[in-house]
Every structure is written in C-alpha cells, then in structure tokens.
Amino acid sequence: MPYKRNPIRSERACALARYLMHASASCTATGAVQWLERSLDDSAVRRIVLSEACLAADGCLSLLQNVAEGLTVYPKVMEANLAAELPFLAVEQVLVTMVSKGAANRQECHERIRQHSQAAAAEVKLKGRPNDLVERLKSDPYFAPIHDMLGELLDPRKFIGRAVEQVCTDL
C-alpha cells in the first residue's frame, strides 16, 4: 500500500513472528514425545530450532525497534479520533452515574442511551457529520441530573487505565 510508511519492515517483522510461533510448536512436539528422557531425538531442536528462533527473535525486535524509532505522532488526528469516539466510550459511565445517583432505571436509561447512540452513529456514518451524542444527551431532559457532570464523565484520562505508568516502566 503506497500510503504506508514502513510496510516492508513491518511485514518482515510479522513473518519472523510467524516463524517463531511455528518454532515453538516444534519444541512442544519434541517435548511431548520425549518426556525429558535426554535421548538424541531432540538434538535437531536443540541445535537448529532454538538457535534459529533466537536469531529470528533478535531480528524481529530489531525491525520493530527501527519502526518504533521512526514513529510519528499526529496530535490533530488523535484529537479528531478522540472527539469522534470518546462519547461512545463514555456511555457506560453515563449509565452507571445515572443509576448510582438514583436518577434512572437501568433498563430505561440503557434504552435511551442506545437510541441516542444509534442516532449519533448514523449521523457520523451515513452523513459524515461530527459525533453529536453529547449534545443529544444534554438536550434530553431525562439526563438532566447529570448534565453538569458530562464534562467530567467525558474526561479522556478516565479511559486510559495504567497506560501512562506502563509506558514509563516498560519503555
């Protein structure tokens, strides 16, 4: 695909990963019949498969490191995707908040959110318009008990879990 930035390196990494999955099957099959008896029928696995698997893993990691080092982040694209998808991700929080405040019956609230979500999704998918789910919830008197909380419920930081911590510790 001409629009892809690293197709050859990414495809090579994928091919090496597939090879590694296959190599583990060879080791498993050998172990299944040998039962760790230390006979010579595992010598090919020990001499060939294990060493080639290590080389393949090293090559795969080198390719992925090269791809990751050239990674470009496009904040405006991320913001557009977030604006388009976050309201759909937040509907569960809206439902839970409405029910926990005693402001709604769970089934009725679920149905209202579903109707608004489906209508908003149709606007996005069929007409190419921006996601208006939040405006729909704000204009519905049923959701009045949480209108002042919608900004907090739509805070993107509430949906990333431990991602920041994992990036800091793992990278």
Assign 144 to helix, strand or coil: helix
My answer on whether 92 and 149 are in the same domain is yes
pLDDT in tens, the chain (171 residues): 677 777 899 999 999 999 999 998 888 888 888 876 777 777 888 889 999 999 999 999 999 999 999 889 999 999 999 989 999 999 999 999 999 999 889 999 999 999 999 999 999 999 999 999 999 999 999 999 999 999 999 999 988 999 999 989 987
Contact, 88 vs 131, CB < 8 A?
yes
Encoding tokens for residue 38?
């230390």
Q: Residue 82 maps to which CATH number?
A: 1.10.40.30
What sign does the CA torsion over 138, 140, 141, 142 have? negative
Report field, pTM of the whole predicted structure over 0.75: no
Number of structural domains in the chain: 2
Nearest to 63 by CA among 4, 8, 3, 2: 8
Residue 52 vs residues 19, 93, 147: alpha-carbon distances, Å: 10, 49, 60
Range of the domain at 129: 75-159
Please report whether residue 164 resides in a domain: no
